[in-house]
Amino acid sequence: MNNRSDLIVRWVEKGDHDLGSAVLINTNIPAYRDTIAFHCQQAIEKYIKAWMIFEDLEIRKTHDIVYLLELINTKQVVPDVWFEKALVVEDYGVELRYPDSKIELSDNDVEDAISIAKEFRAFIVPKLNLP
């Protein structure tokens, strides 16, 4: 594998760690909704950044996954549905990290976040031509 492919794999693996953590926490400590949702957003961000590397786009230090999708959209058409899904979890990457968060999550919100993270993985990873 070349350095670029290796870097893409590492971003996907880190995303998998976040998604796996979200699923594990949801199974064992479902009351930690904020942490679960945070890891889902982080997983999506990492899958998107892997895709950015694949598309030869510069990685931006941001948690704004809608913005990152817009950058990819300059190279590859990103269907609107993915922007809509990103908007659902967008604030979970920053807003939930601090105790003054104004976001209250239901069990359904958490299930949606996990589902969306899995959908992003299923959408992006096959595009990356990984071994």
pLDDT at residue number 80: 97
**What average pLDDT does this structure show over 18-45?**
97
CATH topology of domain 3-128: Four Helix Bundle (Hemerythrin (Met), subunit A) (1.20.120)
What confidence score (pLDDT) does residue 8 get? 97
For residue 93, the model assigns a pLDDT of 83
Choose between 102 and 4: higher pLDDT. Answer: 4
So where are the chain's domains? 3-128
Distance CA 44, CA 63 (A): 10
The tens digit of pLDDT for each residue in 69-117 reads 999 999 999 999 999 999 999 988 877 777 776 788 999 999 999 999 9
